[in-house]
Chain A
Amino acid sequence: MADRAMPRGRFSVREQRGFTTVAILCFVMLYAPMLTLVIYSFNDGDSIAVWEGFSWRWYEIAFNNREIRQATVRSLQVASFATVVSTITATMAALATTRTPSYRGLTFVYALVNQPLMVPEIVTAVALLVFFAIVKVFTGYTGMGYLLAAHTAFCIPFAYMPIRARLEDMSLTLEQAAADLYATPWRTFRHVTLPLLLPGILAGGMLAFVISLDDVVITLFVAGPGQDTLPLYVIGQLRRIVTPEMNAVSSLFLLVSALLVTLFFFLSRRRK
């Protein structure tokens, strides 16, 4: 016991019995299905369960599928728009909730910004369906605007959290120093706050992008004619014959998400 540097009585999860087993089990549960999905996307046969040799065949089929191409482009368009707008909004919201003296109603503002996290997605979806239906009948407009607005709205809290966390970590001294040196509030923001905040903003934007890309429930209820996103397309396939084409599409999707999350990870590490 003497060689243990650990002070007596300190609790460590990693010292608990069975920790390794449970951890391994969790990782297997999380990653085994995904691994299977990716492996079978290279299957030469028509089945998603019987291995018949390696081939790129299903990737080729997926790339040549017009519906998949259109849905992918649409997903990327929606996600890009939602990311830009929600990140800007979230940055402003974060500044307004951290860089001001505490005021009455601040808690209420937190709750308002984070509302999409608290309200079950299906409730938001049904509410949007009903509300947009009224607007659609009233205005006659059935374009992409509804989908873009909905995605932007639920992306805001995801973009907001890393930005706010970054702002709270940042000491006020630099901004105060800039102000002491007669920098205008705008110049202070532009040359001091924003560069320091940038990793948080990028991380928030990336999170918003992935969240928008993944969304099913709200999109399902809000999408109008010709507005199917890639996840909606995939859901639509499941009721019929599922071929490794779906594995190929899902694998590519997984790759994009993984790349973004990795990038997010490195950006958030840089701020340390």
Chain B
Amino acid sequence: MKRPIIGVAAAAGLLLFAGPAAAEGELNIFNWGNYTNPKLIEKFEQTHHVKVTLSDYDSNDSMLAKIKAGGHGYDIVVPSDYMVKIMIGEGLLLETRPNQMSNFKNLSKQWAGVYFDEGRNYSVPWQWGTTGVTVNTKTYGGDINTWAMVFDPPEELKGKINVVPEMNDVMNAALFYKGFPYCNSNREQLKEVSDMLVAAKKDWLSMEYGNVERFGKEDIHAGVNWNGASMRARLSNPAVAYGYPKEGIGTWMDNVVVLKDAKNIENAKLFQNFIMDPENAAMISDFAKYANAIDGSEKFLPAEFAQAPEIKAPSWYKPVFVPPCPQEVNELYTKIWTNLMK
């Protein structure tokens, strides 16, 4: 039993010099801030005798900048859906073949064949979420699974709507509602979308972030919203409900990938397999309050969370991952958006 002592000594030495070096039994994870359950890390450290160092980033882009520069010292990063595609394209990721790992069987079928990593040769899902509509069901009792709640609202909701000022989320929602393709540069279709948004805005009360309290206090009664925020609003006011627009609903998913220049490849692969275990996946969701993609994890989560309508999507829900659009499309969107925000 000398090894653990050496390990502790090595860890203490590393702490002293405050700089992790490349040695056996380490793993450097680079993840979004406040996104990783410390208990999950402790469990992984104990199970596999690996010292984990966790660092935070605040955006896909700053993460990519550091990784592309090289010499970063990280083994694992957690990019969003489209960023996985970009990183594979740039040759930054290691083909770890999660689809051959022992816990891959737990991955929900729905998430095995995603566009950004067909067949999951590189990435393992971390968490995912949606941008849908939030409606106060006391104010409006009809079907809320439609973007009409904000773009063609019923009489009861007019003047009580808040739309989050996120250009891409709102543009995508409008395109879904109209049945037009996303990343659209068709000027006639965009004109229709623009006219619809300008007309709809007359029925909106505000365009602001931070709507959890306002839904709770019934200052606002409907709006474009994220599923996590909608759930928090419902917890303070049970009348608040989350709708999955049947016209299409934007989805994001963050994924665990291993970098090609990682120093601790075997430990990184162990981690990918580790988080596909239902109990471990449940720890991820329990901390950051978003859904994971592992079947059976709900057994390890409080029912009121695992079965929450904002987290457990209805059976007919079809995720739409919207990749970043070409520059030309972005410019058109920005014009529409600027005009809308006037």
Contact = CB atoms under 8 A, between A and B. Distances in A.
B169 to A, nearest CB: 14
Interface in B1-52: 17-22, 28, 30, 32-35, 38
Interface in A134-155: 134-137, 140-145
Given A141-B21, A236-B32, 18 more contacts: A49-B210, A67-B38, A136-B72, A136-B73, A137-B70, A142-B20, A143-B21, A144-B18, A145-B19, A221-B62, A221-B65, A224-B73, A225-B28, A225-B53, A226-B53, A232-B56, A236-B56, A240-B32
Given A50-B213, A240-B35, A225 B55 contact: yes
B70 A236 contact: no
Given A143-B18, A221-B66, A240 B54 contact: no
A8 B55 CA distance: 64
A114 interface: no
A57 interface: no
Q: Which 3 A-B pairs have the closest CB atoms?
A: A236-B33, A143-B19, A136-B71
B288 interface: yes
B19 A136 contact: no
Interface string A204-230: 000000000000000011011111100
Nearest to A232: B56
B115 interface: no
Contact of B33 (A133, A135, A233): A233
Interface residues of B, number: 36
A23 interface: no
Contact of A142 (B19, B34, B213, B289): B19
25 contacts: A49-B210, A133-B69, A133-B71, A137-B71, A141-B21, A142-B21, A142-B73, A144-B18, A145-B19, A220-B62, A221-B66, A225-B28, A225-B30, A225-B72, A225-B74, A226-B20, A226-B55, A227-B18, A236-B33, A236-B34, A236-B57, A236-B58, A238-B58, A240-B33, A240-B35
Given A228-B55, A237-B34, A240-B288, A144 B19 contact: yes
A49 B213 contact: yes
A134 to B, nearest CB: 7
Contacts of B71: 132-137, 142
A47 B58 contact: no
B232 interface: yes
A228 B33 CA distance: 10
A91 B54 CA distance: 38
Contacts of B35: 240
Contacts of B57: 236
Contacts of A66: 38
Contacts of A140: 22
A235 B34 CA distance: 10
Contacts of A232: 56
Given A145-B19, A225-B73, A226-B53, A129 B65 contact: yes
Nearest to B36: A67
Contacts, number: 106
Contacts of B232: 241
A248 B65 CA distance: 31
Contact of A226 (B33, B54, B70): B54
B17 A235 contact: no
Interface string B210-253: 10110000000000000010001000000000000000000000
Contacts of B74: 225
A77 interface: yes
Contacts of A132: 71
A130 interface: yes
A4 interface: no
Contacts of B20: 142-143, 224-226
Nearest to A77: B18
A143 B55 contact: no
Interface in B90-127: none
A133 B213 contact: no
A270 interface: no
A240 to B, nearest CB: 5
A67 B36 CA distance: 11
A74 B53 CA distance: 14
B33 A235 contact: yes
Contacts of A272: none
A143 B73 CA distance: 9
A227 B210 contact: no
Contacts of A134: 70-71
Nearest to B229: A241
Interface string B261-304: 00000000000000000000000000011000000000000000
B56 A233 contact: yes
A111 B208 CA distance: 45
Nearest to B27: A225
A137 B60 CA distance: 23
A141 B30 CA distance: 18
A239 interface: yes
A129 B73 contact: no
